[in-house]
Amino acid sequence: MPPWVRPARKEDLEAIGRVAYATAWLGDSLAGRFSDPALFAELFVRPYLEVGTAAFVAEEAGRVLGYAMAARTLDLPRGFLLPPRLGLLPRLLRLPPRERGLLWGLLTAGAPHAPLRAYPAELHVNLLPEARGQGLGKALLSALLSALAEEGLPGVQLGTTSENRAALGLYRRFGFRAYARRPSRFWTEALGRPVEAMRWVRELGQ
């Protein structure tokens, strides 16, 4: 049975979290760099499921292979501060300093945001490596953009890097354009070569 795309549910947290953890290092896994996949899901996935505008998963035989989700940028701080995240503070404090630094780097390594009046929603798309090249990114992004347009949002934005070449091609095909870019100290130091953080935008209803 081919993969199919459906709306995400709150109970998909663990499955989406596994995809996020397996792709967060510029498309590769955080294994060996961050030791708590469940904590990563609580921090980076649950806020989108709790306060997000729309979310979809690609699923095959009950296994989530990828996701696309969006939330209003101004809602995300509230999502991070909901009670489930407040209770995570002891786990965060127990992390080795290197892992806390990695979390901070992932949160702050992006390019400047585009104006929220024109592009109020933040978008994320990720696929497991074995699910790439099958058209799932296109299917997920199509579903998400349609849902956001139906909500009446004027535009959407996303953060990525110059390393994410396959995704950049997908974004271009969907009418996204580069809004801002800047050298990323975090990724440049991590990879040992120059890397740009990029902010891409797209108007909806087009």
Residue 93 has pLDDT above 70, yes or no: yes
Q: In this prediction, what percent of the chain has a pLDDT beyond 90?
A: 75
For residue 86, is pLDDT > 70? no
Average pLDDT, the chain: 91
Confidence of residue 197 (pLDDT cuts 50, 70, 90): very high
- Domain chopping of the chain, boundaries: 4-203
Measured distance CA(31)–CA(41) in Å, rounded: 14
**Helix ranges, the chain (H):** 13-23, 37-44, 46-51, 76-80, 83-86, 89-94, 97-108, 136-150, 165-173, 185-191
Which tokens is 33 given?
A: 């760099």
Rounded to whole angstroms, the Cα distance separating 30 from 32 reads 6
Residue type, 173: R
Please state the pTM of the whole predicted model. 0.91
Instruction: Determine the Cα–Cα distance for residues 122 and 100; give it in Å rounded to an integer.
Output: 23
Q: What percent of the chain has pLDDT over 70?
A: 94
| Residue, of 86 and 134, whose pLDDT is higher | 134
Reported as a single tens digit per residue, the pLDDT across 11-36 is: 999 999 999 999 999 999 999 999 99
Quick: pLDDT tens for 143-188: 999 999 999 999 999 999 999 888 899 999 999 999 999 999 999 9
Q: How far apart (Å, rounded) are the C-alpha atoms in residues 53 and 157?
A: 13
CATH number for the domain running over 4-203: 3.40.630.30
